[in-house]
Amino acid sequence: MDALELLTTRRSNKKLVAPAPNKEQLEQIFQAALRTPDHGKLKPYRFVVIADKGLIKLANALTQVATDLNLDNKQFSKIDKICASPMVIAVVAKLDPKVDKVPEWEQLVAAGCATYGIQLAAQSLGFDNVWITGKWAGGDALRQTLNCTEQEKIVALLLIGTAENEKLERDSKTADTQDFVSYL
């Protein structure tokens, strides 16, 4: 699959099973993430790979967040779905307000680009994934589990694995860009 085909057929998939990327594949994935746009070469992000027993810790943290935020039963039920994924990669933005040259918002965008780099690299290696955040991302229990400092923000929980249904077709529809593009 060439790069343009990857970009135009990428899709999210929540129905994931093992296997997840192995150590060598993760290295390739993270190398791709480190090549995304990054003004000032700050690398304002870090990645936390969550698998095996780590998924139990993640489930405990998400349960605590759901309790703390008084989320409804629908949100609680999502915890099992999230942690049923064979691997989750948390992306944490390391924001430094003291860098005059690169404002915090731009550092956050760089972390988002790195997240997308992970998604595309995983997809190119044959792994499906989905990027989730929601109310979980600001929860104290999750922040503590991921060892977040006060300046850090959780940008994504990327669920990564193999598509449960191999026959899932890529959406090949061409999007209408008219509402999104203008010319000056």
pLDDT digits (tens, 9 = 90+) for 114-169: 999 999 999 999 999 999 998 889 999 999 999 999 999 999 999 999 999 865 55
> Which positions make up the binding site?
10-12, 35, 39, 131-133
At residue 170, the pLDDT reads: 54
Rounded Cα gap, residues 71 and 150, in angstroms: 24
Residue 169 lies in a domain: no
Is the entire prediction scored with pTM above 0.85? Answer: yes
Is 170 among the domain residues?
no
Q: Is the peptide bond before 19 cis (omega within 30 degrees of 0)?
A: yes
pLDDT of 168 reads 53
User: Which residues does the annotation place in the binding site for FMN?
Assistant: 10-12, 35, 39, 131-133
Domain span at 72? 3-161
d(CA 14, CA 127): 12
Supply 81's token pair.
């779905």
Residue 174 lies in a domain: no
Task: Give Cα 63 to chain centroid, integer Å.
Answer: 19
Residue 183 near residue 100 (C-beta atoms within 8 A)? no
Within a domain: 175: no
- pLDDT for 21-60, tens place per residue? 999 999 999 999 999 999 999 999 999 999 999 999 999 9
CATH number, domain containing residue 76 = 3.40.109.10
Confidence bin at 175 (pLDDT 50/70/90): confident
- Measured over the CA atoms of residue 99, residue 104, residue 108 and residue 110, the dihedral's sign is negative
pLDDT (tens digit per residue) in 54-83:
999 999 999 999 999 999 999 899 999 999
The count of domains in the chain is: 1
Domain membership of residue 117 (yes or no) is yes
**Per the domain annotation, does 179 fall within a domain?**
no
Q: How far is the C-alpha of 113 from the C-alpha of 36, rounded, in Å? A: 6
